[in-house]
């Protein structure tokens, strides 16, 4: 295989769950990804908003290359760990403010990943406006070097200068990805950076589900991706 494969996790390899710690991994998906990893000589990576430590807890793919926290931290194919140097500002104050907001507003959930923070409102979509205003305010007051990242019923604060596209570009410089055609599969607004980079590299960008996108191809849902991968393994 001459392709290098990059996968988002939530909404792509697994269905979106009520909370990030409650995802259900279909029994077929890990062996499919492991087989692809073997067939490509290791040219498979997970590109996710989750931390690498969290991915290792929820997915049995420990030898896989991973870009976590939207590329803030990277585990390369040979297992080397690296992290972008960032100015974390007053993240402790952001955490305190979000703890208070979550306590006062049922349905909000804060996810603290290390150098990035997500505020989920999937259980309270009516609080979308409040959640986005709050995160913009916290960014302005405490972490002006950070940027706002929007997703499916989630808004995140993360250091500027890194995203899933940057992570793919960095991984493509090193073996076993270098020289291959990149394929990136994702489902969310956070994946659009990756789609643009892969398109620029004349690779294949695939969006899971509906919605406007820069991806050139589309699959209906997580199950469709699973069936597509099965077909490829059988051919």
Cα–Cα distance, 117 to 20 (Å, whole number) = 13
Helices of type H across the chain? 29-39, 52-58, 91-104, 128-142, 164-171, 192-200, 222-234
Instruction: Provide the annotated active-site residues.
Output: 8
165: nearest Cα among 2, 3, 8, 36 = 8
Cα–Cα distance, 168 to 67 (Å, whole number) = 8
3 state SS of 10: strand
Cα–Cα distance, 198 to 210 (Å, whole number) = 19
3 state SS of 102: helix
Cα–Cα distance, 96 to 154 (Å, whole number) = 18
10: nearest Cα among 209, 213, 197, 182 = 209
95: nearest Cα among 134, 46, 43 = 134
Residue pair 127/79 in contact (Cβ under 8 Å)? The answer is: no
String of DSSP letters for 110-129: EEE-SS-EEEE-TT-GGGHH
């Amino acid at each position: 295989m001459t392709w290098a494969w990059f996968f988002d996790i939530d909404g792509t390899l697994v269905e979106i769950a009520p909370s990030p710690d409650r995802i259900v991994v279909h029994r077929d998906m890990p062996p499919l990804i492991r087989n692809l990893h073997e067939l490509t000589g290791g040219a498979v990576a997970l590109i996710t908003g989750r931390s690498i430590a969290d991915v290792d807890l929820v997915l049995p793919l420990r030898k896989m290359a991973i870009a976590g926290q939207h590329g803030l931290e990277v585990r390369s194919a040979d297992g080397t760990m690296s992290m972008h140097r960032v100015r974390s500002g007053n993240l402790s104050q952001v955490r305190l403010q979000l703890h208070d907001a979550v306590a006062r507003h049922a349905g909000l959930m804060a996810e603290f990943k290390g150098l990035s923070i997500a505020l989920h409102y999937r259980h309270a979509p009516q609080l979308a406006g409040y959640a986005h205003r709050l995160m913009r305010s916290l960014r302005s007051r405490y972490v002006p070097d950070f940027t706002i990242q929007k997703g499916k019923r989630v808004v995140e604060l993360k250091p500027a200068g890194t995203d899933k596209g940057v992570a793919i570009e960095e991984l493509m410089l090193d073996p076993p990805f270098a020289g291959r055609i990149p394929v990136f599969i994702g489902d969310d607004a956070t994946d659009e950076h990756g789609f643009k980079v892969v398109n620029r590299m004349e690779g294949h960008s695939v969006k899971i589900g509906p919605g406007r996108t820069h991806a050139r191809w589309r699959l209906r849902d997580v199950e469709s991706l699973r069936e597509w991968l099965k077909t490829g393994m059988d051919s």
